[in-house]
Amino acid sequence: MKKISRRSFLKSSAMASIATAAVPLISRSLAGSGAAKTTGYFENEFGINDLLCQKVLTKALSRGGDFADLFFEHSIGNWVDLEDGKVNQAYSVVQLGVGIRTVKGDQVGYGFTQILNEKSMLDAAATAATIASGTAKKPADKFIRQENKNYYPLKRLLTSVPLESKLPLVQAANDRCFALSPLIIKVSAGFHDRQKRILVVTSDGVKTEDLIPKNYLYASVVAEKNGKRERSSWNLGGRHDFSYYTMDLVKEICKTAVDRTLVLFDAVPAPAGEMPVVLGPGIPAILLHEAIGHGMEADFNRKKISTYTTMIGKKVAEPFVTIIDDGTNPKLLGALNVDDEGTPGQKTILVENGILTSYMHDKISARHYQVKPTGNGRRQSYEHYVVPRMRNTYMLAGPSTSEEIIKSVKKGIYVKGVSNGQVKIGEGDFAFYVSQGLMIENGKLTAPIKDMNIMGNGPKMLKNVTMVANDLEMSKGGTGYCGKDGQRVPVGFGMPTVLVKSLTVGGRKA
């Protein structure tokens, strides 16, 4: 493929550059030295000092309320995408603002503004205060800076990485995919990075900041053989320093994307009906996240929506099943040094040896259940209020091997990749599209399969996990998002090989 010149790229992305330059209030750190300093950013750049925060919190509690908090955010995201050797799009997005929350019981008053001056923030705080109608309260007299562990250290700011350093990665991904097979007829590749700074100040005296990276490199390919076309893609990423992205990583992404596409030419229709399903390690944990994890978020249980509402302390799985939601996995997509309420990142055991031991809590649900917050209070941006959300959700390794699990199945399917799922949180019913899989026949993996759905019930599926292997694998992708209440947040997931003794497979009947 023809190489892209720097001049051609700048011409292709000129409109994106103009649009970005027009965004107001971009921090001067965009062109800074690159030092990844966390503390003091909002005070140095925007004048957000303790006195101003006290004034705004006082207004937020002017009609009462149990507590209030401020969530400042400055995010800078960059995209560069290439299609068949040409720059398809290149643009930047900047977000700056503060969200102000007043909480009364389990009710939330919320206001936000993009303008970080005293008047605008006081107006937003007055809006949040209307949730209460009692006697005014005062915030803490002093804010104590909370220091957090760092699960995603940066050698330099992502905003200091020039475009010239990103473009060769994307170009190399394009060229590599075409070179791997003459069947490849179309390639899309791209790089995305986002640098998010937050400051959380609470009425009970907590003040904490974080610098949160997010990035990924992807390749998507279309292949044609004998008039038939197939497509697939692959990406790697997370909360990494830019040094993570090497040419060896490009090769890994491209090989996986091409291999996942070419195998589909040999795929046969899956059988239909009730049968054993083996979920492979890594990506199939999307099912764990969607069909089981959401039911363990505390707000669904506080509102008595979830099947798990009355199950704390009770058996929900076999003794070899332990499920964790974790914000402390270094550089994974769901890692959090601190959540969006100021609670430090931590690990939460949801199911231990088959027993449901905890829900995932924000501050509201923690008060309701009289427990400590678990660090699961999350929001999409300063424009959104906090709700309990997953981080990195995974099942621990078990006592079996993947070979033992496959050998135990006479006829069933092995799932390698899933997508496009739907889940009913209350009942736990789900349906997922299987994008990559294999037949299991007489204890052996045989023909590749595709174009099928698997359906079932999350809590029932968890009870039907009869074997767990010792090969836990976390997904290393950078595009995982979870949607809830109209908000999207990045999440991670993982699992070992697992045998579910029976699920409904929507394939083709004989």
Per-residue pLDDT tens over the stretch 467-504: 999 999 999 999 999 999 999 999 999 999 999 999 99
Q: Which of 1-5, 203-207, 382-386, 461-465 has the lowest mean pLDDT?
A: 1-5
Backbone angles phi, psi at 245, to 5 degrees: -90, 100
Percent of the chain with pLDDT over 90: 86
* pLDDT (mean) for 334-359: 98
**Confidence class of residue 88 from pLDDT cuts 50, 70 and 90?**
confident
pLDDT at 62: 98
pLDDT at 40: 92
CA distance 301 to 26: 41
With H, G, I as helix, E, B as strand and everything else as coil, classify residue 246: coil
pLDDT at 118 over 60: yes
* pLDDT (mean) for 74-89: 92
Contact 205, 54 (CB under 8 A): no
pLDDT at 35 over 80: no
**Confidence class of residue 178 from pLDDT cuts 50, 70 and 90?**
very high
**Confidence class of residue 505 from pLDDT cuts 50, 70 and 90?**
very high
* pLDDT (mean) for 17-24: 32
CA distances from 216 to 3, 213, 222, 331, 336 (A): 22, 10, 20, 12, 17
**Confidence class of residue 15 from pLDDT cuts 50, 70 and 90?**
very low
Task: Of 361, 242, 260, 256, give the one whose Cα is nearest residue 302.
Answer: 361
Round the average pLDDT of the chain to a whole number and report it. 91
**Residue that is written with structure tokens 């008060």 in the block:** 367
**Confidence class of residue 506 from pLDDT cuts 50, 70 and 90?**
confident
Q: Which of 203-217, 290-304, 383-397, 421-435 has the lowest mean pLDDT?
A: 421-435
CA distance 331 to 475: 12
The tokens for 134 are 């009692």
**Confidence class of residue 369 from pLDDT cuts 50, 70 and 90?**
very high
**Confidence class of residue 13 from pLDDT cuts 50, 70 and 90?**
very low
* DSSP H helix total and E strand total for the chain: 12, 25
pLDDT at 28 over 50: no
pLDDT at 90 over 60: yes
Q: pLDDT, tens digit, for every residue of 316-341?
A: 999 999 999 999 999 999 999 999 99
Helix (H) or strand (E) holding 433: strand 429-441
* pLDDT (mean) for 219-230: 97
Partners of residue 90 on adjacent β-strands: 80
Half-sphere exposure of 509 (CA within 13 A, CB side): 3
With H, G, I as helix, E, B as strand and everything else as coil, classify residue 143: coil
pLDDT at 32: 40
pLDDT at 9: 34
CA distance 431 to 422: 5
Contact 398, 317 (CB under 8 A): no
pLDDT at 423: 87
pLDDT at 8 over 60: no
**Confidence class of residue 235 from pLDDT cuts 50, 70 and 90?**
very high
> ∠188-418-293 over CA atoms, to 5°?
120
Q: pLDDT, tens digit, for every residue of 256-289?
A: 999 999 999 999 988 899 999 999 999 999 999 9
Radius of gyration of the chain from its Cα atoms, rounded to whole angstroms: 24
pLDDT at 37: 72
CA distance 173 to 270: 32
Q: pLDDT, tens digit, for every residue of 144-174?
A: 999 999 999 999 999 999 999 999 999 999 9
Query: In 10 A of CB 41, how many CB atoms?
Result: 20
The domain spans of the chain are 6-263, 269-506
Partners of residue 100 on adjacent β-strands: 70, 111
For the structural domain made of 6-263, what CATH number should be given? 3.30.2290.10
The tokens for 227 are 């008039």
160-166 long-range Cβ contacts below 8 angstroms, 24+ apart:
160/31, 160/32, 160/33, 160/34, 161/193, 161/242, 163/9, 163/80, 163/90, 164/6, 165/242, 166/78, 166/80, 166/191, 166/193
